[in-house]
Each structure stands twice: as C-alpha cells, then as structure tokens.
Amino acid sequence: MNVNDYWQQLTVQALVGAGRQPLPPAPAELAELLGDPQRAAERALLDAAVLSRGYLDALSQPQRHQGAEPAGAPDENLPEASAAAQSLLQQLLHLKRRDLLEQWIDQATRRGLLAATDSLSKLLELGRQDRSLRPLLLPVLGQHSRWLAQYHQAGSWLSEAAVPDSIDVGDETLWRQGTPQQRLAWLQQARRHDPAAAREALAAVLTQERAETREILLGGLAVALGPDDETLLEKSLGDRSRAVRTTVVQLLARLPDSAWQRRMLERVGHWLRYDPDTHQLLVELPSACPADLCRDGVEELAPSSSGERAWWLQQALSLLAPAVLCRRLGLDRASLYQLASATEWQQTLQIALANAALLHQDAEMAELLLAQDEHWAELFGLQDAATQYVYLQRVLSATPTSRRATLKHVRPVVYAYRHDWDRPLSELMLDVLLNLTSTDIEQQGGQYRLLALFEHLSARLEPHCVLARVAAMPPETRQSLDLLLEPLLSSANLRSQFAAAFPEPLLESPR
C-alpha cells in the first residue's frame, strides 16, 4: 500500500468512526514514524492522518506553466500608499479587523492610492471569500493584482467583478459577453443615453437569462425610469422568480399613475378610508388574497407573528408611496400618521408607513416616525447628515432618568449612523458609555450584551478622544468595565495611526 492509498483509507475510517475498525497497516515510509500502535483509536487515527497528509504535501510538485513565458506585470498608473499605511494594512489583515480594513480601503481610495504588492494575495483571498467586499477592494488593487489574478486561484473573481471606468454603449461586447454586473453597468449607461434603445436591448434577451440575472438587469430600468417602461414591467409581473417580481413591483410603484398603482389604490380604497365627520381613519381588513393581488406583489402566506388579513393590508400599503396614499385619502403626512396611530391597527399601519418611507425614500414620513419612536432606526438613514448629527447630539445631551435610559433610546440609531463621529459627538457618547454603573450594565443584560455596541462604536468614535478619556478613568471604574473597554482601546490604538499613515490630500473626485 502506498501513502496515497493509506490516506484515502484513513479518510473513509474517519467518516465511519475511529473505533469501529482497526487502522489499516501503515506503509513502510510511515511505519517507523507512527511509533507505538497501542494508543486510543482517535489519537492513533489523527496522528496517522497528520503524518500521511504532511508526507503527501511534501512530495507534491508545483504545477508547471505550459506554453510561452508569461508577460511581466504592467506598470501601475497610481502610487502605492505609504510604508506606514502598508504596515497598518498588514496589521489589520493579521487581526482580521474587517471594520477597520474597510476604513483603510476608504482612506486609500479617497486619495488615489494602491495596496502594496505583498498584500495583494491576501486581499484577493478576502474578495474570494466575501462578495460584499469586492466593490470596495477594486480601487486599491491596481494593475498588478489583475496580472496576478491570472495565476492565482483566489483572484478569479477579479475579472468578473471589474467594471470598466468608461463604457462605450455603441460597443455591445460588454452587454453580450460580460458578467451580470458588467452588463448592468452597460445597461445603466445606455439608459442615460437612450432609454428606449436600452429597454429594447433588455427585452430582446430577458427570457433567455437566469432568474438571478433577470433580477439584476431589470433593476437597471431604475435609471431614467418612465411610463414607456411600464409594458415590459407589467409583462415581467408574471415571472416565475419571486425576487424578480419583487424588483418589478418596486419599479412599478415608482411610476406615477401606472396601471399597477391604479389597481392598488382601488383596492386600498376599500380597506382604508378617511371619515371627515368623525376625523377618523376607518380600517377594513382584506377578506381574501386573490391571484391578481399576489401578482401585484402581495404574498399570501403570513408570518407567524401576524394575522393573514393584517399582513395583506400591511404589504399593500408598504408598496404605495406615502405621498400617493395621502392624496388618495385627502390628508397630509402628519395627519395620516396621527390617525393611523389612533386605530386598533396602529402597529400594522405604522409598519406599512415605515416600509413605504424606506422604499420611496420619503424623508418627511421618516422624520414623523422617528420623532415618535427611535426604533424605526432604518429610517434614520433617510435623513441628511446634518439632521442625523443634530438628532444624535440632542439625544445624547438630554438629561434622562438614567444613563441606561439614554442608551436604550440612542442604541438603535447608533447602528444606523453612517457618518463621522467628530470629537464633540464622541465625547457625548463616551459620557454615557464610560459612566455606566454595575446596575446599568445588569439592567442591559450584562457586559456581554453590551459588547456588540462597544465593538461597533470602537471603529467609529474619535480615537484620540477614546484614549484620553479611558486614561483619565479611576482604576476601579476602569476595572469594572474591562471587558467593554478592550475593543475601544484596541481599535483606538489602531485608528490613531491612520492620520500618519495617510498624509496625502484627498482627491477632488474620488475614484
């Protein structure tokens, strides 16, 4: 028996159970190295597996390139980041700090800088493992990574994800042969030049595409969306894929006075009416969910947390723009929200209004909902940066009954805040975090329940502010919060290096 056959038998034995049968006799090359066979079955199997696999790996030969010698890597047209920035990048990769790695990539991209060659293989591997990182990685990889990807399995995604900086819509090669994301980029550019021609190009191939590709390409109609797109979208309502139908419904919901919108408003008119005499909103839940309602985007099967009739109404209202619903009822947004909150179906209607505000990017309705309940945190992102900042500042500056109350109030929107935490805002947040008492922590579920919040903020609060405030804490207080302070300090120490690592000015027009 050779070592390769021995390895195969060990693999089979590991699957059926180490102790169910004796180990196969070891080949001569390994017998002396394995030593005493009188060991526990599990230990003997693991020893044999490690040794045989290592032996085979040591004998393996690198694959030889067949054909002409490959051309050298092309020259880069952008500079590499500084040595300090590259050292910091290596630390972040070693520590697997995804949150801070994204910040490093952002800083480099905004300055037109590339990652160094010795980091490329690790970055390509990250992109292979995590699709969501790929768009972020592309600007810092450069020409060397594209050359390396030809010979590095981890870089196979690079050619699929890359979209040309400039797209010639007159050349349909990318449209016919590109990846779905590349074809989407071509379609979006074509829509900016000639919406009708782009729509015709899409209609010609749509039925031949896979469901995932149909969903992606139909989303391209969002660029220059207009009444002429309605026929193709209506036809696509009958698509077999739920994801495709969802994309189509959301586009039709954005078309003013579309047939879809008229159908949905007619239905809603039977379920939701405003009575001016009593100044009440009258709610009558749908009695059924027929096929035509399902085709227009309402799912018949309700989740366990909701009654099916309330679920049907919630979905229908979630699709209609708040402005359209207000016109139908003859109410402004504030009145609609107040009246909806006064009905027995308050939760159903408020969820629907929140979903509709998100879908149609209605900042006014989002502000009304946020003013009453901070738990609509996803709506926080519809506010502009200045409004979000003032809201957070106001909540953190308030004097509630306890820091625990402040934390409960601000916690949802902290996760939704996507802008920089400057020193004043960081100071306000640290006033809450660093003065939590043991009772506050217990009422929040203990340090482990708070750890996720501290870890989230550790990548965002102004680092020098964090280091100064923690250093000034009394030793006994610092010791009581040791588990929570660890992510704050480790991130602050890393982030404090960013300024020195990126001394270059920001580009006027980031890539």
Average pLDDT of span 392-405: 72
| Whether the Cβ atoms of residue 101 and residue 175 lie closer than 8 Å to each other | no
**What mean pLDDT value characterizes the chain?**
90
Q: What is the pLDDT of residues 97-136, one digit of tens each?
A: 999 999 999 999 999 999 999 999 999 999 999 988 998 9
Note the pLDDT of residue 287.
Answer: 96
Note the pLDDT of residue 510.
Answer: 53
Query: With pLDDT > 70 as the criterion, what percentage of the chain qualifies?
Result: 95
pTM: 0.76
Residue 275's beta-bridge partner residues? 280
CA distance 301 to 296: 15
Note the pLDDT of residue 231.
Answer: 97
Question: How large is the C-alpha radius of gyration of the chain?
Answer: 30
Note the pLDDT of residue 245.
Answer: 97
Write out 400-423 in H/E/C secondary structure: CCCHHHHHHHHHHHHHHCCCCCCH
Per-residue pLDDT band at 411 (split at 50, 70, 90): confident
The residue ranking higher by pLDDT, 15 or 243, is 243
Contacts of 343 by beta carbon, 8 Å cutoff, 6+ apart: 280, 281, 283, 349
Report how far apart, in Å, the C-alpha atoms of 122 and of each of 20, 114, 502 are. Answer: 41, 14, 21
Note the pLDDT of residue 115.
Answer: 96
H or E segment to which residue 83 belongs: helix 83-95
Which two three-digit tokens encode residue 134? 């790929």
CB burial of residue 274 (10 Å; 0-12, 13-18, 19+): middle
Write out 233-251 in H/E/C secondary structure: HHHHCCCCCHHHHHHHHHH
Report how far apart, in Å, the C-alpha atoms of 456 and of each of 99, 212, 448 are. Answer: 9, 33, 13
Note the pLDDT of residue 271.
Answer: 97
H or E segment to which residue 212 belongs: helix 211-219
Per-residue pLDDT band at 509 (split at 50, 70, 90): low
The residue ranking higher by pLDDT, 155 or 293, is 293
What separation, in Å, do the N-terminal and C-terminal C-alpha atoms of the chain show? Answer: 59
Residues in the chain: 511
Q: What is the pLDDT of residues 193-241, one digit of tens each?
A: 999 999 999 999 999 999 999 999 999 999 999 999 999 999 999 999 9
Which two three-digit tokens encode residue 418? 């996507």
Note the pLDDT of residue 511.
Answer: 55
| Whether the Cβ atoms of residue 382 and residue 363 lie closer than 8 Å to each other | yes
Q: What is the pLDDT of residues 86-103, one digit of tens each?
A: 999 999 999 999 999 999
Note the pLDDT of residue 160.
Answer: 74
Lowest mean pLDDT among 281-285, 416-420, 485-489: 416-420
pLDDT over threshold 70, residue 385: yes
DSSP label of 74: P
Query: With pLDDT > 90 as the criterion, what percentage of the chain qualifies?
Result: 61
Q: What is the pLDDT of residues 281-332, one digit of tens each?
A: 999 999 999 999 999 999 999 999 899 999 999 999 999 999 999 999 999 9
Helix, strand, or coil (residue 107): helix
Residue that is written with structure tokens 């979903």 in the block = 355
419: left (phi over 0), alpha (psi -120 to 50) or beta: beta
In terms of C-beta distances under 8 Å and separation of at least 24 residues, what long-range contacts does 181-190 make, across chains too?
181/216, 183/213, 183/216, 183/217, 184/216, 184/217, 184/219, 184/220, 187/217, 187/220, 187/223, 188/220, 188/223
CA distance 340 to 125: 51
Per-residue pLDDT band at 449 (split at 50, 70, 90): confident
pLDDT over threshold 60, residue 400: no
Average pLDDT of span 350-363: 95
| Whether the Cβ atoms of residue 337 and residue 365 lie closer than 8 Å to each other | yes
The letter for the amino acid at 240 is: R
Per-residue pLDDT band at 403 (split at 50, 70, 90): low
Note the pLDDT of residue 405.
Answer: 66
Average pLDDT of span 171-180: 91
Per-residue pLDDT band at 55 (split at 50, 70, 90): confident
A 10 A CB-CB count for 408 gives: 15
Average pLDDT of span 159-181: 85
